[in-house]
Amino acid sequence: MKWGVLIISILLFNTVATFMKKRLKTSEIYTTVIFGLLVSSLVDVYASFRYNAWGFFEVEKAELSAILVLLGIYPAATIMIINWYPYKCTWKLKLTYLMGWAIFSTSYEWLSIKSGVIWHNNWNLFYSFVMYPFIYYILILHVKFYRWMQQRR
């Protein structure tokens, strides 16, 4: 079941990310995806091996199959999050947007746990739900920082 969930997710996420109307520059998307991959890889490795909090597939193993999650899911999700973010709307709409993604992500994480793609040990879904809005806002801040840097050129 885990491979079915993972493959369908990769195909669905990447199809949406590829064919959606892009509101950001390619350079903004690219740099934010790379930034997101760097941060998530560091956090995932540290959480998995230092604290044994969560990981992918097998407990206490570094597996090549985890790369499918890192490169198949994370970039596409990052693209959707930063592309659809309501940059010019009220803070209430921005907060609602981030909370909507937190609900979606927590639900997807639950499905990933049930299917065996992810395991939790010293972690739970409530922690994830609380952290997701902050994580996603860091991606938004990165887009803004990149734009600021480009203006200074």
pLDDT tens by residue, 106-115: 999 999 999 9
Q: Evaluate whether residue 24 is within a structural domain.
A: no
Q: What is the pTM of this model?
A: 0.92
Q: Evaluate whether residue 133 is within a structural domain.
A: yes
Q: Evaluate whether residue 115 is within a structural domain.
A: yes
Q: Evaluate whether residue 87 is within a structural domain.
A: yes
Q: Facing residues of 55 across strands?
A: 119
DSSP SS3 for 118: strand
Query: Burial letters for 23-45: b for 16+ Cβ neighbours within 10 Å, e otherwise?
Result: ebeeebbebbbebbeeebeeebe
Query: Burial letters for 4-21: b for 16+ Cβ neighbours within 10 Å, e otherwise?
Result: ebbeebbeebbeebeeee
Q: Please tell me the predicted confidence (pLDDT) of residue 19.
A: 98
CA count, 13 A, side-chain hemisphere, 146:
19
> How far is it, in rounded angstroms, from Cα 8 to Cα 12?
6
Q: Please tell me the predicted confidence (pLDDT) of residue 49.
A: 77
* Number of domains the chain is built from: 1
Q: Evaluate whether residue 25 is within a structural domain.
A: no
* Crossing angle of helices 26-49 and 74-84, rounded to 10°: 130
Give the range of the structural domain holding residue 41, as residue numbers without chain letter: 2-19+30-151
pLDDT in tens, 7-45: 999 999 999 999 999 999 999 999 999 999 999 988 888
